[in-house]
Amino acid sequence: MAALLIFSTSAGATDIPTTKLARIKDIASIEGIRDNQLVGYGIVVGLQGTGDSQQTAFPIQTLAATLLRMGVSVPASSIRVQNLAAVFISATLPPFAQPGTKIDVTASSAGDARSLEGGLLLMTPLYGADGKIYAQAQGPLVVGGYAVSVNGNTKQVNHPNTARIPFGAIVERGVSLDLRDRHSLSLMLNDADFRSAESVAGAINHNLGRPTASVIDSRRIDLAIQPGEDVPELLARVESTEVSLFPRAKVIVNERTGTVVIGGTVVLQPVSILHGGLAINVVSHFEISQPSFSSTGTTQIVRQTSVSAQDKPVNRIELKEGATVDDLVRSLQTIGATARDVISILQAMKSAGALEAEIEVL
């Protein structure tokens, strides 16, 4: 597995920045002002024989129920079509969305349809977590790929079983959030940190010129609203305020893809690393033992096993006092470390106290 290492480096250990400036709107959200997930189930029609097969029963049942609501009674057992597909619809209801607002939706095949290209989604209700209908989706699908099969030869580009409908849903019910007559609001930091919370509160109070923000915990900051104050204007000023952040030193590891991300705030202590490996291979093969012509024996299959061991030379890395992330990068590149090697080395450095950072495994 090839390792992909991404590092944020600096000139030296003493030059590593401990703070950075960011807008409050990029690091926090207003409590109550949030998106809501919607989901629905419907059918796509108008496919050119690439829909669900007869082995998938629920699309036919859905079509029969749809026809029955339109006054056409047809037994599901007598329907033989391949130009429709059952799909699940997902969408995101943005905050302050009102009836009539149009939102994008994504349709994904729920059966064994080969492609949704050229399909039309029939009217599908979209439900929220409370089971109520918040939007209705309908419209032609836009597929970012295709699949063609001729005489057993198949060519496929991207994923033709997933499609989007731009502005394909109309909001029927909004999630009301009245900002008028509010006495307080709360900011929620994306990453909990007491020092960052204090920095945000101090920057807001300095910008507004009055004690408006107060820290409740490492994530929550309350905003006091004066009677008759314009709340949208207040939030606009708060979200545009730049503050100093104190992010945690983190190392992100994804062993599945071989990706390692090391931030520039990671501090390295003096350490010496010895890294090697012992590879043992066990190979088995079978031979046929044939008796002689005059013998009474029988033909037998004999298993032959060979074992080989190879001990790789030890690779040595020495990080002295004041070593930077860039030094670690160069050392790992020198010894040709793979993704698994890098992950093992980082975990060992963390256990030895030579890596002052939090390791997060994805």
pLDDT in tens, 225-245: 988 888 989 999 999 999 987
Question: How many Å apart are CA 16 and CA 10, to the nearest integer?
Answer: 6
Q: Specify whether the CB–CB gap between 164 and 105 falls below 8 A.
A: yes
pTM of model > 0.85: no
The 3 state secondary structure assigned to 182-246 is: CCEEEEEECCCCHHHHHHHHHHHHHHHCCCCEEECCCCEEEEECCCCCCHHHHHHHHHCCEEEEC
Question: How many Å apart are CA 251 and CA 354, to the nearest integer?
Answer: 13
Summarize pLDDT for 82-97 with one digit per residue, the tens. Answer: 788 999 999 999 998 9
Write phi, then psi, for 334 (nearest 5 degrees).
-65, -40
Residue 115 buriedness (CB in 10 A; 0-12 / 13-18 / 19+) = buried
Contacts of 18 (CB under 8 A, 6+ apart): 246, 265
Question: How many Å apart are CA 330 and CA 161, to the nearest integer?
Answer: 44
Summarize pLDDT for 109-158 with one digit per residue, the tens. Answer: 988 888 888 899 999 999 999 999 999 999 999 987 666 666 666 666 66
Summarize pLDDT for 169-195 with one digit per residue, the tens. Answer: 999 998 878 888 788 899 999 988 898
136 vs 348, more confident: 136
Q: Tally Cβ neighbours within 10 Å of residue 102.
A: 13
Contacts of 262 (CB under 8 A, 6+ apart): 5, 6, 7, 8, 251, 252, 325, 328, 357
**Type of residue found at 352:** A
Q: Is the pLDDT of residue 17 over 60?
A: no
Q: Where in the chain is the domain with CATH 3.90.1150?
A: 19-33+178-245
What's the CATH fold of domain 19-33+178-245? Aspartate Aminotransferase, domain 1 (3.90.1150)
Question: How many Å apart are CA 245 and CA 31, to the nearest integer?
Answer: 20
